[in-house]
Structure 1
Amino acid sequence: MLQKTGTGTWLPAWVPETTSTISILLLISSIVQSATGGYDGSMLNGLNILPSYTGYFNLNNGTTGLNTASVFIGGFLGPLVSGVMADRLGRRPAIFWGSAMTIVGVILQTAAQNIAMFVVARIILGFGSAISGIAGGVYLAETFPSRWRAWGVGLLNDFYYVGALIAAGITLGTGQWQSTWAWRAPSLFQAIFSLLCILTLPFIPESPRWLVRQGYYAEARVSVAQTNANGSLSDPVVIAIFKEIVDTLKWEKENVHDMTAVEIFRSPSARKRLLIGMSPGPFSCIAGNIIASYYFGSELDTAGITNTNDQLKANVVLNVWCLACCLIGTHLIARWGRKPTAMLSQILLSACLFIIGGLSKIYASNPHGASSSLVYGNVAVMFLFQGFYSIAWTPLLYLYPPEIMNYSMRANGMAFSSFVLNAFALVFTFIMPIGLGNIGWKMYMINASWDLVILGLIAYYWVETKGKTLEEIDALFEGEKHSSVPDIEKVRRGQKEIDTVVVEEQLTAELGPVSIKH
C-alpha cells in the first residue's frame, strides 16, 4: 500500500508503508552520481581503444584527453549551485533536476556528430551528476535512520564500482560491432541510472529536516515515522527524533541562521566542522590512489600482459576486488566506526606504498634482468592497494561530510567538499606523473610518508559519529545537545525511556496545533 505524503514541494510522493521498503528506495534514488561516474570512467576507458570511436572523431592525444576530461568541467561547475538548489528547492527536487540534466547530457553525447558536441554534452553530464550526487548525499544523511546511516550513505559511493562493472561488460559486448553504435550504445545506456532515480523519487518522502526548516512540521513527523517505524506517529522513537530535530533546528535558526560560504569561514565552530567534514576528499587524493590508477596499465604492460582483451579482463577483476573491499569497509564503518576504519585503511595504504616503492627501486636498478615474480609481485601489491583504499575512502567520501556538518551548512558544505575533492584530484593528476618521471620510486616513498601524516591528523582531529543522529553530533562541536530528549539509539534499544505525553505537550506548546500544509 502507498500513502499520499506531503513534501512541501511541487514533487509529490506516494510512500510505501514499510520502513525497509522505503530504505531500499532511498538508496536507489541516490546512487546516481557514483554509478554514473563509475560507468563513465570505465566506458571511456573502453571507448578510447575502439577504432569506431577514435576514428569517427579523428582523435589525437589532445582531443582524446579533452573528450575524456570535459566531464570534470561540469563536475567543477555543479557544486557552485548544488547547495543553493538543495536548500531552496528541496532535496528531492534538486536530485530530480540533477538527474534530468544528466539524461540530457547523455542523449547529446550519444548523438554527438563532432568533438565540440561531444565535449558540451559531457560538461552538461558532469554538471547534472554533481548536483544529483551532492543533493543525494545530503538527502540520504538527513533521511536514513541513524542505525542504518553508515550502510545507507556509505553504499552511495560504493556503487561507483557497480557502474564501472556494468560499463566494462557493455563495452566488451558492443566493441565488436562494425558501426558507430559500438560506442553510441554504451553511451546511451549511461542514462539508465538517472532514469531509475527519477522513477523512484515519487515513492520516497522529503527530508524531515528540510521540512522542519521550512515549517512543514506535520509532514516532517510523517517522514520520520515512515523512515523509522513503519509510519507509526506514536512510536516513542519517532516522537524523540522529531523533538530532537525541531529543538536543534530551532536553536540553529535563532543562533546560526543559514550559512553562506563566506559566513561558514567566519564562524570558528563552522570552520572546524568544514575542515574536518571536507577532509575525506583531499585525504583520499593524497592517499596515492592516483598513482596506482595511473600506473596500473603500465604495470600490466611491464608484466607482459599487453593484449587489450586481457587488460580489460584484468580491469574487470580489479573492479570486482574493489567492490568487495568497499562493502567490507562499509561493514567495518558500521561496526567499528568511521575513525578506526579510516586509520586502518591509512596504515595498510602506507605499507603498500613502501612495498611498491621498494619493488620499483629494485626493478629500476636492473629492468632487463628483473624476474617475472618481481613484476607480478608489484602488480599484486597494486591490487591490494586499490582494495585497501576502497575499504575506507570509497564509503567515507559521501558518508562523513554530511554527518559532521550541521543543517545550516550541510548543503553548501557538501558542495564545497566536492569542489575541493575535484580540485585536489586535478592537481595531483598533474603532479604525480611529473614526480614519478623525475624521481621515480622515491615518489612512492614520499606518498607513503604523506599517508602517515594523514594518519596522525585523523587520529587527532576526527570525531567519531557512529550511532549518533545528526543532531547528537552537534554536542561534539558545540559542547551541548540542543534538545532535552535522550540519545535516540538508547531509546530505540530500551536503555532510556521518554514520557511521550510530556513530549507531545512540549511540541504543542512550541509549535501550536500542527496540521498538514497543502
Structure 2
Amino acid sequence: MMQIGNIYFITAIAVIGGGLFGFDISSMSAILGTNQYKCYFNQGPAGPPDCTGPRADVQGGITAAMPGGSFLGALASGFLSDIFGRKKSIMMGAIIWCVGSIIVCASQDIAMLIVGRFINGLSVGICSAQVPVYVSELAKPSMRGRVVGAQQWAITWGILIMFYVSYGTSFLKGPKAFRVPWGLQMIPAILLFFGLIFTPESPRWLAKKDRWEDCMAVLTLVHGKGDPNHPFVRKEYNDIQEMCEFERRNADVTYLELFKPKMINRTHIGVFTQIWSQLTGMNVMMYYITYVFGMAGLSGNANLVASSIQYVINVFMTIFALIFIDRWGRRVPLMVGSTFMAIWMYANAGLMATYGHKAPPGGVNHVSEESWVISGPSSKAVIACTYLFVASFAPTWGPVSWIYPPELYPLRVRGKAVALSTSANWIFNFALSYFVPPAFVNIQWKVYIIFGVFCTAMTIHVFFAFPETSGKTLEEVEAMFLEGKPAWRTHVDYNKVRAEESGDVSEDKLRGSVDEGSPERATAETKV
C-alpha cells in the first residue's frame, strides 16, 4: 500500500485529531446561548420564548462531561499506544468520536447529552495524548515544534469552523439548530481514520517492538527521500538503536516508573505544563465566551459575532508559533505568554471591580441577576483585554503545551508519560468547566484575579524548572536530563541541528554528536 512520506502531509492528517477537540468546544459554546437549545433542555420556570436552559450547575456538568471522558481516555491511551502503536490508537479514537457524536446528535434529554459528550471525551483524550507523540517521533528536531504545534492550530481551526457552522444553523427552527452541527462533527473523524491508513507508524515504536527493518524503512521514507544512507537517517537510526538497548538494560515500563527518582522531575514538568495551560483560563474563555461577553453587555447576534472574532484571533496568532517556535524554543514563549496573560487578567479584574456592578433583578443578557455586569466604554475595554489575552495565549502556551511533554521523556515511557500529562490537562479542564459558571455568580470579577495569580506563578515556575528542549533530538534531551543541567542554563541550538539534518557536517562529527548525547556517556559523566 502506498504510504505518505512528507512530514507535513502526515501532520495535516494526524492533527485532525486535535481538531476534534476544537469542534467540541464550539459545538457547545456557540449553541448554549441559543433559544432552541435553552428551550429543548430547559430547567427554568418559564417556557418559550423566555427559556433559561439548564441550571448553571447542570450546564457545568454538560460542559464538563467531555473533559471528564478525556481524562480517562488520555490515561487509557498510554496502554493502547504501547500495545497497538501510535497510529492505530489514534484511529481507535476516531471511531469512538463517531459513536459519541451519534449519541449527542440524537440526544432526547440532558442525561443522553452528557453520555454522548463523555464518549466524545474518551476520543479526544486518546487523540490529544497520542497525536503529539506520533508526530514528534516522526519529525526532525528542527521542525518538531512546528509540526507538533500544528495540533493546536488544528484545534483553533476546529473551534472557528464549528462556531460558524453552529452560528449558521442557529437560524434553523427547533432542535435542528443544534442537531445538525452535532452530526456534522463526525466528518473530520471519518477523514482522520481513512487518512491515517496511508501514513507510516512511528519509527521509535517500531524499534521498541524490534521491527528494525520497518523502522529503517520509515526513516528512509520520511527523512532520506528514499536514500537509506543519508547521514541524518543513519544518525537517527543509531540514536534510536542505542536508546533502545540502554532502556532494555535499565527498566521495565509501568506508570510507577514515572515517579522514580530519575524520572519524577520530568513527570512534574510534563504534568504542570498541561495543568498550567488550563489554569491560564483560556479554555474558560472558549467555553463560556458568550457568557463573559454577556456580562460585558452584548446579547444576541452581537454577542456571537464578537465571540467569533476571538476565534479568528486564535487561529491567526497561532501561525506565528508554527513559523518561529523552533527558533524561539520552549522556555521563552511560555514565560512571555504567561506574563502578558497575567497583565490582561489583572486589567479585566480592575475594570470589572471599578466600573461593574451586580446584575439588576431578572438579570441582563441571560446572565444571572446574582452575577456581575459592566457597560459603557469600560465594557469595550474588557472585550479588548479578552482579545489581547487570546492573542497572548495562541502563539505561546497554546501550541507549546502540546509540543513540550513528548520531548521530555525517553522512548520506553513516552506513551504513558504523555498520557499522564495530558490526563492532568483534562482533569483540570473538567474542574474548570464545572466550577467556573458558579464562580462567576459567587465571586464575580474576582475570578479574573485568580487566573492572573496562576499566570504569575507559572512564569516563575517555568524559569526555574523547565529546561529548553528545542533543537535537540529526543535522545539528546534524555542525556540533558541525566546530566542534571539547571533549566535556566539550557538554550536553543537551532543552527547546529539544521546542519546535522542536512548532512552538512562530517561523518566523524555526526558520530561524535551521537556519542556525546548517548545515555551511556551521560550516565557515566553523572556518576563521575
Aligned to 2:20: 36
Deviation at 1:119, TM superposition (A): 2.7
**3-state DSSP of counterpart to 1:15:** coil
Structure-1 residue corresponding to 2:273: 280
Measure, in 2, the Cα distance between the counterparts of 1:329 and 1:255. Answer: 37
Closer/same/farther in 2, CA of residues 264 and 106 from structure 1, 3 Å limit: same
Please tell me the residue identity of whatever aligns with 1:496. V
Cα distance, 1:82 vs structure 2: 0.7
Partner of 1:204: 199
Q: Which residue of 1 aligns with 2:332?
A: 340
Q: CA 1:431–1:314 in 2, change beyond 3 Å: closer, same or farther? A: same
In the TM superposition, residue 471 of structure 1 has moved relative to its aligned partner by 0.9
Query: CA distance change for structure 1 residues 502 and 170 in 2, over 3 Å: closer, same or farther?
Result: closer
Which of 443, 452, 459 is 2:456 aligned to? 452
Q: 1:444 to 1:405 in 2, by over 3 A?
A: same
> Within 5 A, what are the aligned runs for 1:51-90?
51-58=35-42, 60-62=53-55, 64-90=59-85
* 1:375 aligned residue: 379
- Structure 2 gap ranges (5+): 44-52, 361-372, 486-495, 516-528
Q: 1:241–1:488: 8 Å Cα contact kept in structure 2? A: no
Checking the alignment, whether the CA contact within 8 Å between 2:103 and 2:112 is kept in structure 1 is yes
Amino acid at match of 2:173: Q
Cα distance change of structure 1 residues 346 and 417 upon mapping to structure 2, 3 Å threshold: same
- Superposed counterparts of 1:118-267, under 5 Å: 118-258=113-253, 260-265=254-259, 267=260
Task: State the one-letter code of the partner of 2:265.
Answer: K
Q: Is 1:94 matched with 2:103?
A: no
- Secondary structure, aligned partner of 1:391: coil
User: Does structure 1 residue 25 correspond to structure 2 residue 13?
Assistant: no
In structure 2, the residue matched to 1:316 is: 308
Please report how far the alpha carbon of residue 292 of structure 1 lies from its aligned counterpart in structure 2 after TM superposition: 4.6
Report the Cα offset of residue 441 of structure 1: 4.6
- Distance in 1 between residues matched to 2:311 and 2:257, nearest whole Å: 41
* Counterparts of 1:490 and 1:87, CA distance in 2: 33
Q: How far off its partner does 1:398 sit?
A: 1.3
Match of 2:457, as an amino acid? V
Identify which of 466, 469, 472 aligns with 1:468.
Answer: 472
| Letter in structure 1 aligned against 2:270 | G
Change (3 A) 1:222 1:480: farther
**d(CA) in 1 for partners of 2:59 and 2:343?**
35
Residues 249-278 of structure 1 show CA distances to partners (whole Å, capped at 9, x for unaligned) of: 1111111332x112221x212111111122
The verdict on how the C-alpha distance between 1:315 and 1:86 changes in structure 2, with shifts beyond 3 A counting, is same
Q: Percent identity?
A: 26
Q: Give the distance between the partners of 1:118 and 1:200, measured in 2 at CA.
A: 29
- Residues 38 and 161 of structure 1 are in contact (CA less than 8 Å); yes or no, is this contact kept in structure 2? yes
TM normalised by structure 1 equals 0.85
**8 Å CA contact 2:125, 2:426 repeated in 1:** no
Contact 1:276 1:462 in 2 (8 A): yes
Contact 1:42 1:167 in 2 (8 A): yes
| Root mean square deviation of aligned Cα | 2.9
TM-score calculated relative to the size of structure 2: 0.83
Q: Residue type matched to 1:262 in 2? A: L
Please give the alpha-carbon distance, in whole angstroms, between the structure 2 residues aligned to 1:454 and 1:73.
24
Q: Report the Cα distance in structure 2 between the residues aligned to 1:460 and 1:291, rounded to whole angstroms.
A: 27
CA distance in 1, matches of 2:172, 2:435: 38
Specify every segment of 5 or more residues in structure 1 that has no aligned partner in the other structure, as ranges.
Answer: 5-13, 482-486, 507-518
Contact 2:230 2:503 in 1 (8 A): no
Match of 2:397 among 376, 393, 402: 393
The answer as to 2:314 corresponding to 1:330 is no
Deviation per CA, 1:292-337: give whole Å up to 9, x if none.
557744553354422x111111111110011112222333422211
Query: Partner letter of residue 281 of structure 2?
Result: G
Q: Deviations over 1:442-500 (max 9, x none)?
A: 5534543332222111111111111111111111111299xxxxx86442245532169
Give the secondary structure class of the aligned counterpart of 2:3.
strand
Report the CA distance shift for 1:168/1:147 in structure 2 as closer, same or farther (over 3 A).
Answer: same
Aligned to 2:31: 47
Count of residues in Structure 1 that have an aligned counterpart in Structure 2: 480
> Contact (CA 8 Å) 1:359, 1:378: kept in 2 or not?
yes
- CA shift in 2, pair 1:301/1:74, >3 Å: closer
- What are the residue-to-residue correspondences of 1:292-311 with 2, within 5 Å? 292=285, 296-306=289-299, 308-311=300-303
The 3 A distance-change label for structure 1 pair 145 and 362 is: same
